[in-house]
Amino acid sequence: TTDTTLRKPAEKLSEHPQDYRNYIDGAFVANSGEMIDVMNPANGALLGRIPETSPDTVDAAVRAARRAQGPWEKLPAIERAAYLRKISAKLREHRLELADTIIKEQGKVRSLAEVEVDFTADYIDYMAEWARRIEGEVLTSDRPKETMLLLRKPIGVVAGVLPWNFPFFLIARKLAPALVTGNTIVIKPSEETPINAYLFAELLAETDLPKGVFNLVGGRGPVAGEALISHPEVDLVTFTGSVATGSHIMQVAGKNLTRVNLELGGKAPAIVLKDADLDLAAKAIYDSRVINTGQVCNCAERVYVEREVHDEFVEKLTAHFEATRYGDPSVDDDLHMGPLVNETGLNKVTAAVELAQKQGATIVCGGKPADLGQGFHFQPTVITGATHEMDIMRRETFGPVLPVQAVENLDEAIALANDSDYGLTSSIYTQNLNAAMQASRDLKFGETYINRENFEAMQGYHAGHRKSGIGGADGKHGLYEFMVTQVVYIQG
């Protein structure tokens, strides 16, 4: 069947690891320098090698993007959108091959990897739809016989630096709004999960997208990444990743006064009130925690539950955690959870749980690395007796670990939730309208989910408060972050 044919290249990923080439100025370019191994985190298999791109090659990519930008901007937006639709059609055609690659290099389970590919194609189409809706404004002038126009224009050359947790979708979150608004782009994927980006480039190269509009350079953060973010010809760095790297990027970009858009870490609180539907709350919070093995910026990382229902809620929650099927998603299609992305991730999660125990918390289930013979697996873990002073309630854990703290009431829960360096997402479970309204007023987070799991929609606006980021993505507001304004005063 067609599906089998389309799966083949990715199945060969581990049998015949190949060297991938950067895509610059419409051509795949061989790398003369170091290559970086890409491994499957579930079993250690070598999947392929990608270039450690030198600063000179990054420079060539940025210059190609600069040359392409003028002509690209001059195309009508609707023509730019047509190119985007050709790309999304290619992704749909190869969805299983792409999903297999994400499963193998990131450790995602099949169902989520397929959702990631489909969502990516839909996202590109959604941004293409904006082509006829990019709007300026007509302003009221102070003078007689004067018209004032506010025009929106592309920024120029965009650099997109990506993390590993939604490696494929994040290409689209940067590329689609950048391209439809008339910018060109250079993408640097994470060195942990770059192969899907190389496959993206191969599919994009099969369309007639003008050369230089999209460029791909691989490599590590301090080498290729640094060369890209510090390049004086880059007009906007759009970055998704950790707070530490985001802060560094802002400092480096500051030297050239390059604009930044930063989507950083989170420590999402989930509040459960005594009137909540506890079955729904336990399931939604569980789903929000084990999705992608807990490696999602917006997913519930700490729970505040009213004391009266604490025990009942923890029991329901623990039942879900204990029923989690986890293992190697490259051999088993029917899992809730795969491995953590690498050894560093596993060590970080292990240390966070050990510290929580030392600081007095109780492990209800899990609590340790899972010995499956190979791979970076951690047991699904519920922790109770957490307090505000513990690191497990304050630092991003990024693993399948959920600490629960009992609180007296909604006011206390909101105060604890807000007292955080992070301000990305939050959630509350209640059937009381007044409580839900109070939470939406008083929670200081970019997103608040009421009685549902944390998962943003493409027409929303994904933007962290405090150290979770600067600017945002998605919807109209995210689109306009790829544009600058010009006010024109017309006398006559």
CB 75 within 8 A of CB 68: no
Contact string 340-379 vs ligand NAD (x = CB under 6 A): ----------------------------------------
Query: 45: exposed, middle or buried (C-beta count within 10 Å: 0-12, 13-18, 19+)?
Result: middle
* Sign of the alpha-carbon dihedral angle for 88, 91, 93, 99: negative
Determine if 248 is a binding residue for ligand NAD (CB under 6 A). Answer: yes
Out of 190, 293, 384, 430, the residue judged to bind ligand NAD by CB under 6 A: 190
Determine if 226 is a binding residue for ligand NAD (CB under 6 A). Answer: yes
Question: Read out DSSP for 154-201?
Answer: E-SEEEEE--SSSHHHHHHHHHHHHHHTT-EEEEE--TTS-HHHHHHH
Please choose, out of 28-36, 119-127, 209-217, 239-247, the segment that lies near ligand NAD by the rule CB under 6 A. 239-247
Out of 222, 232, 254, 360, the residue judged to bind ligand NAD by CB under 6 A: 222
Note if 263 is an active site residue: yes
Which residue in the block uniquely carries the two structure tokens 């970080």? 348
Distance CA 85, CA 397 (A): 37
Determine if 221 is a binding residue for ligand NAD (CB under 6 A). Answer: yes
Distance CA 360, CA 385 (A): 7
Q: Which residue is nearest to ligand NAD (CB)?
A: 221
Determine if 131 is a binding residue for ligand NAD (CB under 6 A). Answer: no
Question: Read out DSSP for 298-313?
Answer: TSEEEEEEEGGGHHHH
Residue 224: name the closest of 51, 68, 24 by CA: 51
Out of 20, 119, 164, 321, the residue judged to bind ligand NAD by CB under 6 A: 164
* Torsion from C-alpha of 225, 230, 235, 236, nearest 10 degrees: 50
Strand (E) or helix (H) holding 343: helix 343-358
Please choose, out of 111-119, 138-146, 218-226, 324-332, the segment that lies near ligand NAD by the rule CB under 6 A. 218-226
Please choose, out of 38-46, 62-70, 264-272, 308-316, the segment that lies near ligand NAD by the rule CB under 6 A. 264-272
Determine if 397 is a binding residue for ligand NAD (CB under 6 A). Answer: no
Out of 87, 161, 204, 414, the residue judged to bind ligand NAD by CB under 6 A: 161
Out of 424, 439, 470, 479, the residue judged to bind ligand NAD by CB under 6 A: 424
Out of 43, 207, 242, 342, the residue judged to bind ligand NAD by CB under 6 A: 242
* DSSP 8-state code for residue 130: G
Report the largest interatomic distance among the alpha carbons of the chain, rounded to a whole angstrom.
79
Please choose, out of 117-125, 184-192, 275-283, 430-438, the segment that lies near ligand NAD by the rule CB under 6 A. 184-192
End-to-end CA distance of the chain: 67
Distance CA 150, CA 485 (A): 7
Determine if 163 is a binding residue for ligand NAD (CB under 6 A). Answer: yes
Contact string 324-343 vs ligand NAD (x = CB under 6 A): --------------------
What token pair was written down for 19?
A: 């060297």
Which residue in the block uniquely carries the two structure tokens 């939050």? 426
CB 386 within 8 A of CB 403: yes
Out of 297, 305, 356, 407, the residue judged to bind ligand NAD by CB under 6 A: 297
Residue 375 vs 469, nearer CB to ligand NAD: 469
- The residue annotated as part of the active site, out of 191, 192, 263, 453, is 263
Determine if 245 is a binding residue for ligand NAD (CB under 6 A). Answer: yes
Distance CA 171, CA 124 (A): 10
Determine if 472 is a binding residue for ligand NAD (CB under 6 A). Answer: no
Please choose, out of 7-15, 22-30, 128-136, 224-232, the segment that lies near ligand NAD by the rule CB under 6 A. 224-232
CB of 93 to ligand NAD, least distance (A): 27
Please choose, out of 8-16, 137-145, 155-163, 305-313, the segment that lies near ligand NAD by the rule CB under 6 A. 155-163
Out of 47, 68, 229, 349, the residue judged to bind ligand NAD by CB under 6 A: 229
Query: 197: exposed, middle or buried (C-beta count within 10 Å: 0-12, 13-18, 19+)?
Result: buried
SS (H, E, C) 15-81: HCCEECCEEECCEEECCCCCEEEEECCCCCCEEEEEECCCHHHHHHHHHHHHHHHHHHHHCCHHHHH
CB of 16 to ligand NAD, least distance (A): 26
Determine if 155 is a binding residue for ligand NAD (CB under 6 A). Answer: no
Residue type, 308: E
Size of the site for ligand NAD (CB under 6 A): 31
Instruction: Give me the residues that bind ligand NAD (CB under 6 A), please.
Output: 161-166, 188, 190-191, 220-222, 225-226, 229, 240-242, 245, 248-249, 263-266, 297, 396, 424, 462, 464, 469
**Active-site amino acid positions:** 263
